[in-house]
Amino acid sequence: MSLKIFLAAALTMLVVNIGAFAAEETTVYYFHTNKRCTKCRNLETYAKEAVDQLADKTLRWKVINIEDADNEHYVTDYLLITSSVVLVKTSDGKVEKWKNLDKIWRLVKNKQKYIDYIQESINSF
């Protein structure tokens, strides 16, 4: 095999592998408003801790203020009412599925149960 053919094959494999890696992605969003009480800040802190504990390099973490004009579309995109944690799976830049983790407000008083809920939701998503 010539060096040219070998390099072309290696480059093709690299491009295919990079494309496969970048094609699907899971993002954990924490959405908040301008007013942030202690409970709201705990929602964010505990969710971030849950994501960090998973040590999954394929997860993305994003914090979004839904009252910023550029972010208002998220309210209708994910049916948001208040501060929320939402899991979003995208493929080739398009949303494939999403899930609003609706138990966070009930569980925030118990940090470990809250973290367990976030992690179990991510793992089963």
Domains in the chain: ranges and CATH: 24-124 (3.40.30.10)
**Which pLDDT score is estimated for 2?**
55
Listed in sequence order, the DSSP H helices in 24-109 are: 38-54, 73-77, 104-107
Please give the model's pTM, rounded to 2 decimal places: 0.80
Read off the pLDDT of residues 62-81 as tens digits, 9 standing for 90 and up. 999 999 999 999 999 999 99
